[in-house]
Structure 1
Amino acid sequence: MRLDRATVRGTHDQAMGRGVRHWLRYTTGGPSSGEERVRMDGTSPVYDAVRAGDTVTLVRWQGEVASVRLGEVAQETHDSPARGWRMPLAVAQVLLLPGLAFVWCALWYRRRAAAPPSETMVFLPLTVLLSGALLGPLGLFGAMGGADVGEALRLTGLCAPPVVAFSALVAWYVRRRSRKAADTSDLAPVTPQGRRVLGAQVHGQVPYSRDGYGLLIVGDGPLVATLDPHGKVARSPLPATLTVERVRSIASSDPRGWLERYRYDGVVLVCRDGAEEVLIGTARRDAPLVWGALLAAGA
């Protein structure tokens, strides 16, 4: 590291696209010495404060001007070799923090592989994953804004408590929604009072299970699966022998599209038609009417 005294000749703001480059002009010798310039990293605290004629100290490292001192304050240059730690640290935090969270969750699930499967989202792994995913990008800003490695890591550390608290809140909300979706104990059959067209899909090795039929007509005689909102064409009646065995939440093993369509708002009526199992996927609010219509049709 070498220190050189220099005399400020002025500053120059160079517009470059949407940004501005800040150049500090100076000389290091007598009046006959040539003018040089260095690009500063931002405008504070030195660039905004210097005036032509001020004396500054150039801190050189590896032959390049690393920073400029004005009195007790200093400011890094844009191309300072001392900035070389920023990008590696930023990349390390962006990749390492989410990566560690993912590895921890994988080990956590591996240790509990023999445990009975849970119907609800696990709180702790979701909190860890979300915290790692959020702290990684925040570590990027810390690395780019910190004066040194220690300050950059402190900035990331200061972000950790609110990030973990926010992640825990989100995990609690998701778990609450998941538990509510898994609980079907509050559902009971309701006999439709009049004709209704409900969103529902029938799935099974039966002739009335047809792709694209996403509507179910209830309250007007036998239930009819259809793709016509008016129920006039493409009708596939459900037999009176179809009985409901139980009602459960939608699972990942159900037909493709059900989980994406209903998310936390869907349920599955597990039915039996002779030896065949038949699934009817529908919204939670429509399930009582479908259930009641099936009971009425089989009575």
Structure 2
Amino acid sequence: MTRSSSSSSSSAPAPGSPSGPPPARRDLRSALVPGAIGALLVPAAAVLFATLPGKLSEVHDFRAARPCEEAAVPENGGCLATRSAVVVAKESRREKKSDTRLVTLDPDEGPPAEVEMRGAGPVFGELEPGDRVTVHSWRGTDWALSLGELRQDLMGKPGPGAAARFAVALALLITGAALVRAAFRWSLRHTRDPAVHAWQTWVPFTATAAAVAAAVTAALTVDRVLPVLLITAAGCAVAGTASALLTRALGRRATDVVTLEPRVLTAERVVRATVAGEVP
């Protein structure tokens, strides 16, 4: 017992040694991965945004174009033109886990041409060699194929590609910004901070996913850019506010107190230990 008492009393810090525990260090390691991913996503979104103005302007001009029969002075193919053609053949290819649907046409004027359909219907499934179809074009690009009352878009139609790129750019920007913000907050924590609760991860993740969903839906369904940006900003504001309020509410209810139930030893246990400090 005397030995134990001496060891216990000698556990005090030796003269000249710093008193108390060492200062807590910033927990930077946990912020490296999200910070690095966010730092890559934000420039990627910027690159996509840099290529969007021309595409979006093209989409705007296409949607504002009128049929050439109604245009007073058609210039540079800026009106919606049509021409008649005969189906020579059609083919469906399986490439990279997707189907490519090709139709070979023999127009009344000009050499035969091959066009790629967007999707499986409704025109492609009804086409047969020898059918006469109507080809819709704008600025020299074929964008739709009609068979009677049925019409189907071609891969060259302006719009879907630009909208998808706009949606991807918004999703990358929101996700990257959320990761950079999370990395900054995590870098302010200390290594001796209490364990992170599960809700401190899934609440911001859910808010980010909701903001991304709102932005992508707006980009794919709304024609104009300004309303899309306003909807995206409103979605981010609502999601961020809800995340902050829910995090604060859960933080007030959280506790770091752990209740330990005593256990009675039924047998001798040997524990390795080291004597610290000077022993008289």
Task: Work out which structure has the larger RCO, using CA pairs closer than 8 Å and 6 or more positions apart in sequence.
Answer: 2
More strand by share: 1
More helix by share: 2
Q: Which bin holds the TM-score, normalised by the shorter protein? A: 0.3 to 0.5
- TM-score, normalised to structure 2's length? 0.45
